[in-house]
Amino acid sequence: MVKKSSILKTVFVLIPLILAIFACSLPLPSNIEILGSPELSFKANKSLTDMFQDMIGLPEMPDSEYKPEILPCKNVEYQTYIVYIELFHDNFDIDLNIPDKLNGQSYTTPSAGKIRMINDVKILDEPIPSISFGEGLNKYFEGFEFSGVNSTIFISGSDVVKFLRLEIDFNGEETSKNNLANKSSGYENWNGEYGGKTMPEGCVTFDISPLITSGETLDINIKAYLEKDNDIERAWLDLPVKVELVIWYPLVFTAITDDAKIDFPDDFFGDGESDLFGRTEPAEDDKMSPTEIIQSAELTIKLNHDLFEGAILNIKSKDVTISTDELQGQYLGFKIDEENMKKINEPDNFPFNPKFSFNFKKGGRINVPWELSTEEFSLKARIHHTISLKGEDK
């Protein structure tokens, strides 16, 4: 049996009282017509913060000895993370067992304790397992680009790095850098949270936003060459060197088309399967449905942030489609007119479980705040129902 709405229950409670009044003073009517526009508002705190993280996907390296650490950057206005990966921490691959040769390449000794390479010599060749960013941007975002996702490399531990040429291959794009600084990221002092407002400055920087937008994984290969014609302290070659990768990961998106769209997960509104009006089965001819007394309705969700201002909200559930005007402020609202209410009552359109999507104009930006949640739900319904005192509802 279909559950009746609280409005309908109230109506049935009032019927005996109405009959008593008419029995005492007036001829008994054949029908009672119920009209009204009741409103219902209630606090509803539902966090959407984690939902956005899950939709977008933070970097990971599954089944790898390299473990990304993801730290919040709380001094940035919107959700931004530092992804830290230690790529290498060891001695360089250096063989000095053959006199006057390093890794088979000849060198001279310009003074005591120093060597000078005659040719460049490779001392590091380190392929890094793929870094995955998930498929959220492809799955939930269409016509958007990730903005401002940068990465940088630090190399430190020995002054020998000042005399290296670093070659880095990011997904087939090669970059060469020399005159490096012996500089650490400072990760040891971050204490679980990065305090800066911008990415720390390393020796080589890459904008990897396009990789994430396209859904590619990030593949890195690092090579280091000891450059020729430099006087190098031999003791430097015995010190371990650390190579660190830092990724600056702001949850910021820009619409690059006029019909850019964000799809919310199916379970944003409820469990993704239940009927919005609380029905447990579709309407049948011999049973009353709660939605049959509702001519039209308006649902409004208040957020704690104006994240979707200027966007158009689209609602879709089976054959029921609703689009709004541009959203204003912190409110997500949509109206169900009489035509769509009739569709909702059709058995083929049960359950009414709306899926949300948002369209943005080109240039529209989404800056995801640290705390994003719903604050209040409100429902306004226009009801029109006729109760037959002869036992037939209309």
Q: Residue 71's closest CA among 245, 194, 154, 238?
A: 194
Vertex 198 angle, CA 200 and 140, to 5°:
115
Vertex 351 angle, CA 347 and 353, to 5°:
145
Q: Residue 378's closest CA among 309, 342, 326, 332?
A: 332
| SS3 label, residue 163 | helix
Give pLDDT, residue 234: 93
133: exposed, middle or buried (Cβ count in 10 Å: 0-12, 13-18, 19+): buried
CB atoms within 10 A of CB 263: 17
- Structure-derived torsion over alpha carbons of residues 62, 66, 67, 73, reported in degrees to the nearest 10: -120
325: enclosing H helix or E strand: strand 320-326
Give pLDDT, residue 125: 93
C-beta contacts of 271-274 below 8 A and 24+ residues apart: 272/353, 273/351, 273/353, 274/351, 274/353
Q: DSSP string covering 342-364, please?
A: HHHTSGGG-S--PEEEEEE-TT-
Gyration radius (Cα) of the chain, Å: 33
Rounded distance between C-alpha atoms, residue 339 and residue 156, angstroms: 68
Return the exposure string of 306-315: e unless at least 16 CB atoms fall within 10 Å of the residue's CB, then b. Answer: ebbeebbbbb
Question: What would the two tokens of residue 131 be?
Answer: 């870094």
Question: What would the two tokens of residue 147 be?
Answer: 């903005």
Dihedral sign for Cα atoms in the order 366, 368, 373, 375:
negative
Give pLDDT, residue 390: 58
Question: What would the two tokens of residue 360 be?
Answer: 């943005």
Amino acid at residue number 70: I
Q: Hey, where are the domains in the chain? A: 6-50+257-388, 68-255
| SS3 label, residue 211 | helix
Give pLDDT, residue 18: 35
Name residues of the chain where pLDDT drops below 70.
1-36, 63, 134-136, 269-272, 284-290, 385-394
Give yes or no for a contact between 251 and 80, defined as CB atoms under 8 angstroms apart: yes
Tell me the C-alpha to C-alpha distance, in Å, between residue 116 and each of 137, 229, 290, 301. 50, 6, 87, 70
Give yes or no for a contact between 151 and 249, defined as CB atoms under 8 angstroms apart: no
Rounded distance between C-alpha atoms, residue 248 and residue 84, angstroms: 9
C-alpha 136 chain-centroid distance: 7
328: exposed, middle or buried (Cβ count in 10 Å: 0-12, 13-18, 19+): exposed
Rounded distance between C-alpha atoms, residue 338 and residue 292, angstroms: 11
Question: What would the two tokens of residue 28 be?
Answer: 């008994």
User: Can you state the percent helix, strand and coil of the chain, rounding each to 5?
Assistant: 20, 45, 40
Q: Residue 303's closest CA among 257, 246, 247, 366?
A: 366
Q: How far apart are the first and last CA of the chain?
A: 19
Give pLDDT, residue 55: 81
Rounded distance between C-alpha atoms, residue 287 and residue 277, angstroms: 16
Give yes or no for a contact between 301 and 333, defined as CB atoms under 8 angstroms apart: yes
- Which residues face 131 on adjacent strands? 218
Q: Residue 218's closest CA among 321, 312, 87?
A: 87
